[in-house]
Amino acid sequence: MLQQKVRVRFAPSPTGPLHIGGVRTALYNYLFAKKHSGDFILRIEDTDSQRFVPGAEEYIIEAFNWLGITFNEGTHVGGKHAPYRQSERKDIYKKYVDELYDKGLAYIAFDTPEQLESKRTEIANFQYDASTRMSMTNSLTLFPEEIKNKIESGIPYVVRIKIEPNENITVNDLIRGEVIINSSVLDDKVLYKSSDGLPTYHLANIVDDHLMEITHVIRGEEWLPSAPLHVLLYRYFGWNTPQFAHLPLLLKPEGNGKLSKRDGDRLGFPVFPLEWKDPKTGETSSGYRESGYLPEAVVNFLALLGWNPGNDQELLNINELTELFSLEKCSKSGAKFDYKKGEWFNHQYIQLKSNKEIAKMFLLILEDNKVFPSMEKVEKVVGLVKERVNFIKELWEQSSFFFIAPTTYDEKTVAKRWKPESASELTELYGILEKIMDFSTHNTEEIVKSWIENKGYHLGNIMNAFRLALVGESKGPHIFDITDILGKEEVLNRLKKAIETLK
Ligand code: GLU
């Protein structure tokens, strides 16, 4: 028998910026699809107009473009099951609502929000289900004529699923195994609202997964409680149920409770892929992109939050991840969001990139600081300092002295490193350096060191004062790498200035 082609989807609701946990869910779907040469679909679930936020869909698409997570079908790329935005599929759903109603598997309910509210005060833990539905205003308790009149006079109604009590419903989950839930704990969820003619999430989700031939539903653990209802809906329609996989939650870095935006604010890390400006409040939330993360690092970091390849290999690019990924290796328990590890990944990916690639990114920061050096110089500087940074922006802090001569000297360093004899020794050094023709690292180092040795000077003292003159403080890479990059003229200028200033 021909094996069914794997088709998975990421189905966000455009209610704001995409949480990093959503990005992880999408990534796992992507890896799974690629691994099985399947299709990955982006479906926008926007049937809840109350929660719709303008710009959210565009944000989602931009985030995936940045991360290199691509889709075979979706709102932005089209496909054979278009449209992929649920609000544009309105006409599709009604017949499925009618089908359930006609089969007696759903009913119409007219209860007003006030009636529901008073029930809630009357009955503790009120739930609209088999135990209460016969005391409510719905098509099960009204005469056909009354139902017809109400609908014709435009009284708003909802359609609810009719769930029989005391039945064990089994959800087969690829990560969790069999999850069995008794139907008595489920309520008769609303599937459709006449007020806007739109289905709710549950119905639209099932109908679309079926029509779009989704084979595996891979989503966050927060949807596990909805899965039994979904299993019932598949059964009511007589459709095959897709395979389910509910991914573990992302937990706070401390490990207690779900990761939230507040944790990011509190500890200083982003929880969104891109920066987001809330259209209502104008509040801006930081994003991984704007914070200086490389997309490859974010992908690698997220991939290992809730899954691992079964060995201790950590640095894996997206192709290697695809090769190794399996849902069976996903963990059941939540994954602590170790944002420091994210920084570590960024550090690693910076080291893996060529100096040229990093230099290109660093150029933008240099321009912001009004320096315009040659690409050759920037590449050399990057090569010297990149191992000291986790983020491209930190390169400036580590290397600004290569581009701007010190105008002041750090007081503490001066007090500690500038000796009474420093001025005269550096003046002598000036004379030595002036005569060197080949100013490359090793040559300069050899000449300077043999001069120091011949004179019996203290190597450390001279090098410290020299560094202070070139850098303005005591930091920086190997001193003769600095002289090599600065070049003779600049080194001499800086020496002269320090001697004059510090005396
Ligand atoms: N629209 C749901 C969400 O926002 C989709 C959940 C699912 O994947 O079924 O996460």
pLDDT confidence of residue 2: 61
**At 199, is the secondary structure helix, strand, or coil?**
strand
pLDDT confidence of residue 250: 97
User: What residues contact residue 417 under an 8 Å CB cut-off, 6+ apart?
Assistant: 461, 464, 465, 467, 468, 474
Beta carbon of 11 within 6 Å of any ligand 1 atom: yes
66: left (phi over 0), alpha (psi -120 to 50) or beta: alpha
Q: Please say whether the dihedral angle defined by the alpha carbons of residues 121, 122, 124 and 128, taken in this order, is positive or negative.
A: negative
pLDDT confidence of residue 503: 86
Beta carbon of 45 within 6 Å of any ligand 1 atom: yes
pLDDT confidence of residue 3: 78
Beta carbon of 13 within 6 Å of any ligand 1 atom: yes
Query: Which one-letter DSSP state was computed for residue 127?
Result: -
CA 472–ligand 1 middle distance (angstroms): 55
pLDDT confidence of residue 445: 98
Pocket test for ligand 1, best of 7, 201, 215, 231 (most atoms within 8 A of CB): 201
Q: What distances in angstroms separate CA 252 from CA 20, 219, 337, 346, one per listed residue?
A: 12, 19, 6, 20
Beta carbon of 205 within 6 Å of any ligand 1 atom: yes
Q: Which two tokens stand for residue 34?
A: 């690629």
Pocket test for ligand 1, best of 27, 53, 202, 219 (most atoms within 8 A of CB): 219
Name which residue sits closest to atom 3 of ligand 1, judged by CA: 12
CA 403–ligand 1 middle distance (angstroms): 50
Beta carbon of 219 within 6 Å of any ligand 1 atom: yes
Q: Which atom of ligand 1 is nearest to the CA of 219?
A: 8
**CB of 32 within 8 A of CB of 19?**
no
Tokens 């007219």 -> residue = 110
Q: Which atom of ligand 1 is nearest to the CA of 218?
A: 8
Nearest CA to 409 out of 319, 494, 298 is that of 494
Residue type, 282: G
pLDDT confidence of residue 37: 98
pLDDT confidence of residue 1: 55
Omega before 406 within 30 of 0, i.e. cis: no
What's the full length of the chain, in residues? Answer: 503
Q: Which atom of ligand 1 is nearest to the CA of 45?
A: 1
CA 5–ligand 1 middle distance (angstroms): 22
CA 12–ligand 1 middle distance (angstroms): 5
Pocket test for ligand 1, best of 13, 41, 229 (most atoms within 8 A of CB): 13
Beta carbon of 29 within 6 Å of any ligand 1 atom: no
**CB of 150 within 8 A of CB of 118?**
no
Give the pTM. Answer: 0.93
DSSP β-bridge partners for residue 287: 272
Catalytic residues: 261
Q: Give exposure, 403-435, as e/b (b: 16+ Cβ within 10 Å).
A: bebbeebbeebbeebbeeebbebbeebeeebee
Residues of the chain below pLDDT 50: none
Pocket test for ligand 1, best of 205, 210, 246, 250 (most atoms within 8 A of CB): 205
Name which residue sits closest to atom 6 of ligand 1, judged by CA: 11
